[in-house]
Chain A
Amino acid sequence: MENKNGLRAPVSQKPHVVPKPEDTSTIGGTVSIEINDVKYSVPLGTTILEACRENHIHIPTLCHHDDLCIAGVCRLCVVEVTGMRTLQASCAYPITAPIKIKTSTPMVRKARRHIIDLMLSEHHGECYSCVRNNNCELQALAKEYGVDCYNFGHVKESQYEIDDSSYSVVRDMDKCVLCKRCVRTCIDLQEVGVLEAINRGGETMISTFMDKQLADVICINCGQCINRCPTGALHEKDTSDDIWKAIDDHAKHVVIQTAPSPRAAIGEEFGLGAGHSMTYELNTALKRIGFDAVFDTNFTADLTIIEEGTELIIRLYKALIEKDKEVALPQFTSCSPGWVKYLEHFYPEYIPNLSSAKSPQQMFGALIKTFYADKVGVDAKDIVSVAVMPCSAKKFECNRPEMEDSGFKDVDYGLTTREMAKMIKEAGIHLPEMPKTHFDSPFGDASGAGLIFGATGGVMEAAIRTVVEFVTGNKTEDIFEKANILPLRGFEGIKYMEIPIGNNVGPVPDLIKHLVPDWNWLKGAVLKVAVAHGTANAKKIMEDIKRGGKFSECHFIEFMACPGGCIGGGGQPIPTTPEIRKKRAEAIYAEDESLEIRKSHDNPSIKKIYQEFLNEGPCSHLSHKLLHTHYKKRGRYIA
């Protein structure tokens, strides 16, 4: 099954999807089965695993993941099906006829124990020195099956060198159990295709193109493989020790910015269910750890909206009024570093379409080492700037050579949510019990528009809240109830929306008055926007644009590398499932709705920074120097 770019989806691992009937009340819509002598009726095409889960019968799994296509390779989920000589992998067996299933016979239990024993025999590493200690699926299975010895031995020496060449993702193949979740994530879910199995038999291992290091291949650093790895074979490159060092060094002024998605998810690391926002508790914890100041990335998310929105208006004006054929439209968002690198590798000819605006993390970095340094009177060289991000690609982003516009590395360290939680635990702090503290001045709190950047569609929603008010002079609430732009929310892979401007346009706001004289040229126009999350969906849009399809007519498109957007980022707590991502998104939208200021241009701190510092306005010389960047054409096969 080869798709247009020659990337292959491993059909061997595609599930056998028997279309489930829409109406299960029709004859043949359901099948009567027996599980452990109890009768059930399930919709035709249900897998044995689904049927068991539905009826609260536990089946152990390892290679199975809710986000991924079915592999059926670990064989842990085997069950007995009456009449069949061999055991059947319940994840890969669709029920199409009445069958009798036994899920816990001596044969089944023995087989499962054998499989765990075999995996442990080749799994090198000690649990207590593993990043996934206490959150490892193999460890949990060993416990579940009462493993008290290594029945088939245990590898004592490391077999593979650790690949820590990448800024973001570390591969430790000694811990790999060859479940191929990472392969399916990379090839099927993300359609990047960096990881695949090589060799055969006992020599089988997961590798990259020509067995190169991760830094030298087309890895986009999205970290989705990390989120789905059942063991510690894949993890982010931990930089928390460097940050401890900086905190302990009194000559350093260590500041930290927190993004909305880690705040919505970090509670999970402290035993809370998904969907508990810890924004203000986190501020307290960070101050107690020893950070000198805590800032809200949403502030620069608001700034991104102003800069990126202005850039869009300039592009539209140039294209529509000045008839400039060089202007690249649609404009693509650039806040997801995974997406940016994906585009640089796979569609470098579309680099001009990427907004030149930096991501919120990098804008903040540039401001901290210039504006903030001046303000508090600290030498920028003594500032250590840290960012808590839901993202592994942010580690790569802050190390891009283009990101030194302040004269220093704009952001010194990108920390994942997981690393942050580890530091908090190390400091002896139980996050959920922290009192609440506000963010530090001079940036203060931010708007709800910046907050919703965390969920897929959020950047676009924030942009539209501002653009609508800028252009029409009306309130967003007049068009969208409570300013919630629902068509842009939810987890559909690709979302598309048209916003008619109408014939009533307002005055051009002062902030951008120097750029466009009036809005008359937008009268009657229809703004077309689209949203994609996960690079597989991004690819669909890009292919459509190449063909000159519907999306080539768009004006502005939001792309996020990770499924679900930042809340499903590669630095977020493990596990991740559609259900968990939904709850994290709900937490973000709920927090947005609770805020008074929900539009970027209403944020008083934003108004202030354009008065005090960026006083030539958005997309001006200074803002271009500090807040905008450029991109790099990269190879299609190697970095």
Chain B
Amino acid sequence: MKNKTNQSNGKVLFSQYNRGDAIKKLSGLSREDVLYELKVSKLKGRGGAGFPTSTKWMLTAAAVSQEKYLICNADEGEPGTFKDRVLLLEHSELVFDGMVVGAYTIGAKKGFVYLRGEYEYMLSSLEDFLETMRNDNLLGESICGIKGFDFDIEIRLGSGAYVCGEETALIESLEGHRGEARNRPPFPVSKGYKGKPTTVNNVETFASVVHIVMKGGEWFQKHGTDKSTGSKLFSVSGDCERPGVYELPWGTKISELLEIIGAKNTKAVQVGGASGICVNKSQFERTLAYEDCSTGGSIMVFNETRNMLHVLKNFMEFFVEESCGQCTPCRIGNTKLLEGVEMLESDEYTFAYINKLKELGKTMQIASKCGLGQSSPNSFLSILENFKDEIFNGRGGKYGK
């Protein structure tokens, strides 16, 4: 099944790669060699948080345990992202080979792909792909003749909870429990799936690893910026002529991206999905990079015809529904922020109360238990700040200012 969206193939992720090559290369590499190349590459997690992959793998590799697990986070649930879908459907070899490299490096015998429930349609083709790998000894026992290197992959389906993209909630779900984030520490690298050291990485991270193994960390880090190396897949949607998945080097300016995708009369760009930030025209020269506008890949473009309050309401409704409901700031906080948006909509607000909500948003960012609650106020805060003229212009609310 092919994707119908537009695609641009960049120089890193979509560069030449033959199925199984990275795995075959492992016989000549020690796990330290892989970790070294990763370290040199400065690869950071592609899910959005940007944790250095070499550190995560090193910690899992160093953890003392007979049992370790590797998990591929394919619960692509952030509104506006669909790049993992492209990778899984059209470049499965990058993802699965990357997982095998990961298993070799950290010493895992079992790996999981936690596949977004809505991607059930690709399950059988992915299973077929894994079967082919088993037949070719790219999975199973003594992979590629490397003695003692046994590893297999199981695909599990999620059930539609956004929070299960958070790695500890994902692990809970994988264990058969209610999807709720765990307390950290401990981090999964020391106590993850079934309490054993576990590495959880995004689909795209594994795909990047394959190229680093083949072409070296040095080569990889030449792409992108100093702090954001390599390239990134962007899922572009919204008001533009060519929505789709684009591989671009980190450091690309928002204005450059808008040019490429044919966006006209753009008023706002939501970078990083519902949990990301919303920038206005004055910020279009900012760059897409961990150090500036960080994103897991979602880019939503809004043109002049869009009502930003409506956009914001949509995001907040999403969070009210998707909060797992365990911690107070996220569970009730998001409801309060949504109520605030509704007050703005109906003109029944006071500036004093909106300011209270902004302060509440800041508390949510630092006091929530997991990334969901910590990032859910981002759009509220950034839209109210960056589009205050539109939202408040001439509207003091029924109760004055």
- Which residues of chain A have a CB within 8 Å of any CB of chain B? 1-2, 8, 10-12, 15-16, 70-76, 78, 85-87, 89, 92-94, 96, 107, 110-111, 114-115, 118-119, 121-122, 151-153, 177-178, 180, 196-197, 199-204
Q: Do residues B332 and A121 form an inter-chain contact, with CB atoms below 8 A? A: yes
Q: Among the interface residues B178, B194, B319, B328, which one has the most CB atoms of the partner chain A within 10 A?
A: B328
Smallest distance from the beta carbon of B155 to chain A beta carbons, Å?
Answer: 22
For B318, the closest partner residue in chain A by CB is A201
By a CB distance below 8 angstroms, the chain B residues around A201 are 319-325, 331, 334-335
For A16, the closest partner residue in chain B by CB is B186
Q: Do residues A10 and B177 form an inter-chain contact, with CB atoms below 8 A? A: yes
B356 close to A (CB within 8 Å): yes
Give the interface size bracket for B toward A. 35 or more
Q: Do residues B185 and A75 form an inter-chain contact, with CB atoms below 8 A? A: no
Q: Do residues B181 and A200 form an inter-chain contact, with CB atoms below 8 A? A: no
* Cα-based distance from A76 to B363 in the complex (angstroms): 12
Contacts A16-B186, A111-B367: A200 and B177 contacting too (C-beta < 8 A)? Answer: no
Q: Do residues B177 and A114 form an inter-chain contact, with CB atoms below 8 A? A: no
By a CB distance below 8 angstroms, the chain B residues around A75 are 327-329, 367-369
For B191, the closest partner residue in chain A by CB is A16
* Cα-based distance from A180 to B331 in the complex (angstroms): 14
Q: Do residues B367 and A78 form an inter-chain contact, with CB atoms below 8 A? A: yes
Smallest distance from the beta carbon of A179 to chain B beta carbons, Å?
Answer: 9
By a CB distance below 8 angstroms, the chain B residues around A89 are 183, 369
| Other 7 A-B pairs with CB < 8 A, given A114-B359, A115-B328, A202-B332 | A11-B172, A78-B367, A121-B332, A178-B326, A180-B326, A200-B321, A204-B324
B262 close to A (CB within 8 Å): no
CB neighbors of A among B162-209 (8 A): 163, 168, 172, 175-178, 180-183, 185-186, 191, 194-195
Q: Do residues A111 and B320 form an inter-chain contact, with CB atoms below 8 A? A: no
Q: Do residues A114 and B325 form an inter-chain contact, with CB atoms below 8 A? A: no
**CB < 8 Å neighbour of B359 from A85, A86, A110, A115:** A110
By a CB distance below 8 angstroms, the chain B residues around A119 are 328, 332
B161 close to A (CB within 8 Å): yes
Q: Do residues A11 and B195 form an inter-chain contact, with CB atoms below 8 A? A: yes
B29 close to A (CB within 8 Å): no
B62 close to A (CB within 8 Å): no
Contacts A12-B172, A16-B183, A16-B191: A107 and B366 contacting too (C-beta < 8 A)? Answer: yes
By a CB distance below 8 angstroms, the chain B residues around A121 are 332, 336
State the 9 A-B residue pairs at the shortest beta-carbon distance, nearest first. A204-B325, A92-B183, A118-B332, A201-B323, A111-B367, A114-B363, A72-B183, A16-B186, A202-B335
Contacts A12-B168, A115-B328, A201-B322: A86 and B374 contacting too (C-beta < 8 A)? Answer: yes
Contacts A16-B186, A201-B324: A72 and B331 contacting too (C-beta < 8 A)? Answer: no
Q: Do residues A12 and B181 form an inter-chain contact, with CB atoms below 8 A? A: yes
* Cα-based distance from A58 to B269 in the complex (angstroms): 45
* Cα-based distance from A115 to B324 in the complex (angstroms): 17
Contacts A16-B183, A75-B369: A152 and B336 contacting too (C-beta < 8 A)? Answer: yes
By a CB distance below 8 angstroms, the chain A residues around B323 are 200-202, 204
* Cα-based distance from A520 to B112 in the complex (angstroms): 66
By a CB distance below 8 angstroms, the chain A residues around B195 are 1, 11
By a CB distance below 8 angstroms, the chain A residues around B325 are 178, 197, 199-204
By a CB distance below 8 angstroms, the chain B residues around A71 are 326
For A119, the closest partner residue in chain B by CB is B328
By a CB distance below 8 angstroms, the chain B residues around A200 are 161, 163, 321-325
By a CB distance below 8 angstroms, the chain A residues around B319 are 201
* Cα-based distance from A70 to B182 in the complex (angstroms): 10
B333 close to A (CB within 8 Å): yes
By a CB distance below 8 angstroms, the chain A residues around B360 are 114, 118, 152
